C-alpha cells in the first residue's frame, strides 16, 4: 500500500425509515437516542444539518465524504474502471477528466461536500494529473457558476528525505497552490515517517497556528502513535481532529487494534478510507469475475468464495430497504458512530449511489449480524498499520 497510498458497535443517528410496525419496534429498541461521542465531559462530535464535526476542531463536514485518489492515479485504478458510455468517444485522458468532474458535480448536487485528496495521488512520472490540481480546478469552475461550500482535506507525504517541521509547511503551500486555495479544512500526515515524526507534528501545529489549515489529522496511525500524536499536539493547544485509516465491513482492524476505541476516547474522528473494500463490497466481483490489476492480488477467487455468504445477506438486507450492497456497506460504517466514510467516486453514477447510503439506518440487529458474518472471513493485512 505504500507504493500507491491514498487515500465495537456504535450508534447510528440517521432519520428513521418507515418500516412495518413490528420491524419499526425492533429498530427503536436496538438504536438508543442520539448522542455525541465525548472526551471526558467535552462533546467532540456534533451533528447538525447533515454534518459532523471533526474531533474537537471547528470544522464540520458532511457525514459521507468523497475520496479523490482515483482521479489522479493511473496505475492502481486500471483503465477498465473508467467506462462512462457518454464519453467513450473521447481520449482516455479526456474521458478521465470528464468523468472525474461529473463525479465532483454529482457529489455536490447530492449534498456531499467533503473531499479528500493528497499530494501523492497522481504523479507526472506515471503520466497522471495530480488529484489536487483536478479538485482545485473543479472547485474553481463550479464556483464560477454558483456559490458553494466545499471542505477539502489533503495530506503530507512523509517521504524519507523530508526533514523537520519546515518540510510540512513547504509541502502544504505547494498543495494549496495546486488546489488554488488559501487554506484547507483538514491537513493530515499521510502515514508515519521512518523518522522525524515529532517534527512533522510540530509542522502541523505551525500550519494550524498560521491559519493555513482549519484542522489537522493523521492517517494510518496505530493506537500508540495516535495517542502520542494527540498528546504532542495538545501541548501546543492544537486538537488532533482525525485519523484516516482503512476501515470497512470486511476490514475491521480499527475495532480490533484499539484505534477505534482510542478515537472515541480522545475525541478524534475516524475517517474510513476503502469503506467498500476497493469495490469488493459493491457485489460486482465474484469468484468467476475477480478484479483485475493490483487488487487481484488481495481479492482472489478463493477470498471471493468465502465472501459470498456475507454478500448474499447484504443483498437481502438491502432489498428490504430498497438499497444496493454499496449503500448497505457504507451505512454499516456510519452506524458505528464517530466514523466518516470517504468512498472514491470515479463517475457521477457512483457519487449518486453513495448518497443513497445516507438518511436511513440499519437496525442494531442487522449491524451485528453483518459483523458476525464478516468475522468468518480472514482479515486483510495492512503492514503500514503495524509500523
CB 60 within 8 A of CB 54: yes
Gyration radius of the chain's alpha carbons: 20
What is the phi/psi pair of residue 242, to 5°? -155, 155
Q: How far apart are CA 107 and CA 263, in angstroms?
A: 27
Contacts of 315 (CB under 8 A, 6+ apart): 283, 325
Is 76 in the active site?
A: no
Query: Number of helices and strands (H, E) in the chain?
Result: 13, 13
Q: How far apart are CA 75 and CA 293, in angstroms?
A: 9
Element (H, E) at 135: helix 131-145
Q: Which grid cell is 297?
A: 492480488
| β-sheet bridge partners, residue 286 | 289
Q: How far apart are CA 133 and CA 210, in angstroms?
A: 23
Q: Which grid cell is 75?
A: 496505475
Q: Which of 121, 200, 208, 247 is catalytic?
A: 121
Residues in the chain: 387
Catalytic residue list: 121
Amino acid at each position: 500500500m505504500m507504493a500507491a497510498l491514498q487515500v465495537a458497535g456504535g450508534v447510528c443517528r440517521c432519520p428513521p425509515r418507515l418500516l412495518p410496525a413490528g420491524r419499526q419496534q425492533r429498530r427503536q429498541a436496538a438504536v438508543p437516542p442520539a448522542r455525541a461521542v465525548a472526551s471526558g465531559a467535552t462533546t467532540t462530535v456534533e451533528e447538525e444539518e447533515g454534518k459532523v464535526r471533526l474531533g474537537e476542531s471547528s470544522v464540520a463536514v458532511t457525514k459521507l465524504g468523497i475520496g479523490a485518489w482515483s482521479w489522479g492515479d493511473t496505475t492502481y485504478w486500471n483503465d477498465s474502471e473508467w467506462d462512462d458510455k457518454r464519453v467513450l468517444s473521447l481520449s482516455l485522458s479526456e474521458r478521465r477528466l470528464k468523468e472525474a468532474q461529473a463525479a465532483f458535480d454529482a457529489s455536490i448536487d447530492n449534498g456531499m461536500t467533503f473531499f479528500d485528496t493528497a499530494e501523492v495521488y497522481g504523479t507526472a512520472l506515471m503520466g497522471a494529473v495530480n488529484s489536487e490540481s483536478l479538485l482545485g480546478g473543479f472547485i474553481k469552475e463550479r464556483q464560477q457558476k454558483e456559490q458553494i461550500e466545499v471542505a477539502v482535506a489533503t495530506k503530507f507525504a512523509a517521504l524519507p528525505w523530508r526533514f523537520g517541521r519546515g518540510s510540512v509547511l513547504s509541502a502544504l503551500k505547494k498543495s494549496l497552490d495546486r488546489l488554488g486555495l488559501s487554506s484547507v479544512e483538514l491537513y493530515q500526515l499521510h502515514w508515519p515517517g521512518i523518522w522525524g515524526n515529532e517534527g512533522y507534528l510540530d509542522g502541523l501545529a505551525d500550519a494550524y497556528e498560521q491559519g493555513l489549515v482549519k484542522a489537522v489529522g493523521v492517517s494510518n496511525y496505530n493506537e500508540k502513535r495516535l495517542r502520542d500524536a494527540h498528546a504532542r499536539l495538545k501541548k501546543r493547544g492544537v486538537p488532533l481532529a482525525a485519523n484516516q485509516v482503512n476501515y470497512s465491513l470486511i476490514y475491521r482492524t480499527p475495532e480490533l487494534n484499539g484505534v477505534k476505541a482510542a478515537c472515541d476516547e480522545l475525541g478524534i474522528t475516524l475517517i474510513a478510507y476503502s469503506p467498500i473494500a476497493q469495490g469488493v463490497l459493491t457485489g460486482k466481483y465474484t469468484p468467476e469475475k475477480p478484479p483485475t490489476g493490483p487488487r487481484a492480488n488481495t481479492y482472489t477467487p478463493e477470498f471471493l468464495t468465502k465472501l459470498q455468504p456475507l454478500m448474499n445477506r447484504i443483498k437481502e438486507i438491502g432489498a428490504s430497504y430498497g438499497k444496493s450492497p454499496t449503500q448497505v456497506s457504507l451505512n454499516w460504517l456510519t452506524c458505528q458512530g464517530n466514523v466518516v466514510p470517504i468512498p472514491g467516486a470515479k463517475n457521477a453514477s457512483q457519487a449518486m449511489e453513495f448518497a443513497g447510503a445516507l438518511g436511513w439506518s440499519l437496525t442494531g440487529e442487522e449491524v451485528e449480524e453483518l459483523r458476525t458474518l464478516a468475522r468468518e472471513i480472514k482479515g486483510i493485512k495492512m503492514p503500514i498499520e503495524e509500523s
